[in-house]
Structure 1
Amino acid sequence: MTSSGSSSYNSFAGLDPADIHDCVPVVLYATNATYFAWKMYFSLLFRENNLVDHVDGSVDSRATVRDSEWTAIDATLTRWFFTTISKDLFHTVVTMDDQSIDDYCRRLKLLVDELRDIGAKVDDDLLLSTLIAGLNEDFGNATSNLSLIPEPSFPKFVAYLRLEERRMKGVKERVQHHALAAGTSRGAPPPAAPPAPAPHHQPAP
């Protein structure tokens, strides 16, 4: 399958995907003015290799999900982005760490809004794929279920992940309760008896 805008696309035209730093010789930081240079290098790279329709939102990613070549190129583009941004920005965008779902999604949405404010196009498909990529390993099973949500959207994903977070918290609490109960039933020492009251002596007459 090829998109209507990619009838001649040729898998990077011989470009080695590992040579991204030769093609984009700048690193994007959140704290300096490298964004426009970074964006320009990528814009040229996409046009030179007929990859624009992978990033401009003109192709519905759901229509290409079974096209192995298309998805492989998408994965390479994502890797290019991740390897040309600073470590701090990478962790801000990609890594959930120990944040709650609400905090993680709020930070991600804020970053997307800031990029859009300066003219960077971040379509819904890229937002959703970045959201999934940044989930920590506790949500491993949830990521496969997200693909089953009809008419996927950021609010739907967030709502589902909140429910999953609540479910996992309940499971963890039950496991801890059962472990504590099992430890007590296996011969844990009984609680110590309270000390006997001191004998009461009547004062001598």
Structure 2
Amino acid sequence: MTKDGDDVTSSGGHGGKPALHPVYSVTNIFNKVRMLDGVKITCSAWVKLFTLHAKGYKVSHHIDGTRPPTAADPKYAEWCEIDAHVLQWIYGSISEDLLLRVLETNSTAYEAWTRIKNHFLNNKGARAAALEHEFTNMMLSKCSSLDEYCQKLKDIGNQLTDVGSAVDDQR
């Protein structure tokens, strides 16, 4: 493999057959990336996990905006096949609600990646205001324990960070 994730032929004992791309070794995306629901797993956490996964399996170029090969390129068919796997990872690691919002026919992994990120970033102001209200009005009496209360505040705080309105430690 090259550093860009391009397959190279292997030499030792494989008869010059192309090396199997690491993308084909993933059997269950949930062992690698948690389900993006926007509440428990925030967009920024999911992006970090997914990006790490993509880098490890040499497919980062499918989500970072790198242009695909042209249709005339001999590697185009292989690129399309690998992109379909990455797209399946993306669609398989988001909530059903989000999937229905971003699912499109004939999409590339990068296009789906961009739609998901835009979904969380497009309404930052309104989302931040709603989350601020929820954070400010969270009451211990509505939770079964102090741990639950603190966890809910942390979850809302993480969501606020995602929309650019981080909560400081004092709050």
In the superposition, the TM-score normalised over structure 2's length comes to: 0.46
Q: Greater Rg, structure 1 or structure 2?
A: 1
Larger proportion of helix: 1
In the superposition, the TM-score normalised over structure 1's length comes to: 0.40
